[in-house]
Amino acid sequence: MSRTTTIIGLDSFPIVKEGDNIAKLILAALNKENVTLDEGDIVVVAHKVVSKSEGRTVDLKDIKPSKRAQEIAKVTLKDPRLVEIVLRETRRTVKATTEIFIVENKQGHVCINAAVDKSNVEGADKYLLLPEDPDRSARQIRSEIIKLTRKKVAVLISDTYSRPFRTGQVEFTVGIAGMNPFKDYRGKKDLFNYELKVKNTAVADEITSAAELVMGQGDEGTPVAIVKNLQVQTQEEASAKDLLISRNEDLFKDAL
Amino acid sequence: MSRTTTIIGLDSFPIVKEGDNIAKLILAALNKENVTLDEGDIVVVAHKVVSKSEGRTVDLKDIKPSKRAQEIAKVTLKDPRLVEIVLRETRRTVKATTEIFIVENKQGHVCINAAVDKSNVEGADKYLLLPEDPDRSARQIRSEIIKLTRKKVAVLISDTYSRPFRTGQVEFTVGIAGMNPFKDYRGKKDLFNYELKVKNTAVADEITSAAELVMGQGDEGTPVAIVKNLQVQTQEEASAKDLLISRNEDLFKDAL
């Protein structure tokens, strides 16, 4: 028999303001679009709406760049105030050259501009940060949905990533609640009884990438998707940090 | 209104032998599982079944390692015959240290062991290479399906990738036929009329990752998935090479 997984983009999700309750907005959109939430569904939320609800917007006008930000701005040809915003979200500077500023951000993700983002933020000088603790945000949304519906769902918070070696971007998981981010085959047998040694599928990243296929970017404005009928392993104490690898453990260290 | 994409894993797909016609096997599995193929569907095929049908299996017993392979085998602690197989698929050696051998393979992918693979290959000393030209393989499968069904589908061939910075693996696209691998938002406007400057979604990679959610690895043996009701841009002259970035253009150069 064929297994069928369904991914539903909630097109009626509204524009989010600070203080909005994301879980309630999701349930309202589900209701409006006649989509039923089932036990085991996975709710994927673009970090932007979570960050907006948490008031994680910053205005360049309010930023006074430090001396270090001014120096990096000279090298990267970026607005020193933007560099200052990025530095405040940064744990370690990775690369600063002409028009490129890559850091390890406070959540541990190595990414461009510490994931500080301009698109779909109202106001010419306004930028959006990641949620302060995206796992906590995911847990809050999940608890609220479970409280209101009695359906045990999982929640993933996604963000857009440029990737080494490859063109274009995909969505990865930055916050997680209620599911194991991996499907680990190591130690299991393949079709011919050979023991798998490496295979540990990052299902959470695959789900956020899958969700983007119905979410869209630009002015499409569909920041929430529901993934149905997909078997994942329930895990109460999950963290998107498990998806990160330390530099020393990274097989690709010095390969780039 | 909500948009719904479905992903169907063809669980009745048989074990593939050299010379098998993948397109016909796909249509037979669709028929057996009562799944209708529609215009615009995307057929995702794990490279393994394509490689097997093309006879891209090699046996360690038949390999005489070169002097260079023997040297690299000493550093990487790998079987010199396996290193020789990898070298024959390699355009550039990227990193060779204890238990790690990363190369740029002939298709241009920077990956571990040149994507030479052991799992789900029958025979203790048998390894599987990528198809010689995965785009050509995808085009052949697509042409055959269109010929037999009159439905214009797209075909993606997928492979498993470890990624810099992140734990676990996801599926990326190594061969493509009939669709644009990207959805390019650059120059378009966001919700608040701000022009997007970077966003160029690698939809092909997102689709192969999504497909794996129903395909599975290990002994699940479901190497084909059908993605339905997803808008992608038809492109007759597509290539998975467009998903690769040269080292000099790679933003992450020297970042790892």
The alpha-carbon gap from B228 to the nearest alpha carbon of chain A, in Å, equals 10
**B50 and B140 together in one domain:** yes
Closest CA to B172 of B235, B95, B242, B119: B242
pLDDT score of B218 more than 80:
no
**B32 and B137 together in one domain:** yes
The pLDDT, as a whole number, for residue A45 is 97
**A33 and A146 together in one domain:** yes
Q: Is A168 an 8 Å CB contact of chain B? A: yes
Q: Do A205 and B166 touch (CB under 8 A)?
A: yes
**A121 and A172 together in one domain:** no
Tell me the one-letter amino acid at B196.
L
**B19 and B114 together in one domain:** no
Q: Do B3 and A170 touch (CB under 8 A)?
A: no
Q: Do A122 and B201 touch (CB under 8 A)?
A: no
**Count, residues in chain A:** 256
**B136 and B232 together in one domain:** yes
> In this structure, are residues A26 and B234 in contact, taking their beta carbons and an 8 Å threshold?
no
In a domain, residue A104? The reply is: yes
The pLDDT, as a whole number, for residue B191 is 81
* Smallest CA–CA distance from A35 into chain B, residue: B2
**B16 and B98 together in one domain:** no
- Whole-structure pTM value: 0.95
In a domain, residue B254? The reply is: no
**Per-residue pLDDT reduced to its tens digit, A10-63:** 999 999 999 999 999 999 999 999 999 999 999 999 999 999 999 999 999 999
**Per-residue pLDDT reduced to its tens digit, B129-151:** 999 999 999 999 999 999 999 99
Partner A, chain B 198-237, Cβ-Cβ below 8 Å: 198-203, 205-207, 209-210, 212-214, 217-219, 221-222, 230
In a domain, residue A228? The reply is: yes
> Mean pLDDT across the stretch B193-209?
91
**B150 and B236 together in one domain:** yes
Element holding B13 (H helix, E strand): none
Question: Which one of A127, A146, A162 terminates a domain?
Answer: A127
**In Å, how far are B194, B196, B199 from B187, measured between CA atoms?**
9, 6, 9
**Per-residue pLDDT reduced to its tens digit, A182-217:** 999 888 888 888 888 888 999 999 999 999 999 966
Q: Do A7 and B8 touch (CB under 8 A)?
A: no
Angle at CA A240, nearest 5°, toward A11 and A97? 90
Question: Which one of B127, B155, B177 terminates a domain?
Answer: B127
In a domain, residue B150? The reply is: yes
Residue B52 pLDDT class (50, 70, 90 cuts): very high
Of B8, B118, B212, the CB nearest to A201: B212
**Per-residue pLDDT reduced to its tens digit, A157-177:** 999 999 999 999 999 999 999
**A47 and A68 together in one domain:** no
Q: Do B194 and A118 touch (CB under 8 A)?
A: yes
In a domain, residue A249? The reply is: no
Question: Which one of B127, B146, B179 terminates a domain?
Answer: B127
**B215 and B111 together in one domain:** no
In a domain, residue A248? The reply is: no
User: Read out DSSP for chain A?
Assistant: --EEEEEEE-TTPPPP-TT--HHHHHHHHHHHTTPPP-TT-EEEEEHHHHHHHTT-EEEGGG----HHHHHHHHHHT--HHHHHHHHHTEEEEEEEETTEEEEEETTS-EEEGGG-B-TT-SSTTEEEPPPSSHHHHHHHHHHHHHHHH----EEEEEEEEE-TTBSSEEEEEEEEEEE-S-EE-TT-B-TTSPBPSS-EE-HHHHHHHHHHHHH--GGG---EEEEES----EETT--GGGGB--TTT-TTTT--
Interface test with chain A among B100, B165, B248, by most A beta carbons within 10 Å: B165
The alpha-carbon gap from B7 to the nearest alpha carbon of chain A, in Å, equals 5
In a domain, residue A250? The reply is: no
- Domain that includes residue B30, residue range: 6-54+132-248
**Per-residue pLDDT reduced to its tens digit, B166-192:** 999 999 999 999 999 999 988 888 888
CA B253 to chain centre: 23
For chain B, what is the domain count? 2
Structure-block tokens of residue A233: 């392993």
The rounded radius of gyration (Å) of the Cα atoms in chain A is: 19
The pLDDT, as a whole number, for residue A196 is 83
Closest CA to A50 of A90, A17, A27: A17
**A110 and A213 together in one domain:** no
Q: Do A221 and B245 touch (CB under 8 A)?
A: no
The CATH number of the domain holding residue A194 is 3.30.1330.100
Q: Is A13 an 8 Å CB contact of chain B? A: no
**Per-residue pLDDT reduced to its tens digit, A108-142:** 999 999 889 887 788 888 999 999 999 999 999 99
In a domain, residue A85? The reply is: yes
**A122 and A185 together in one domain:** no
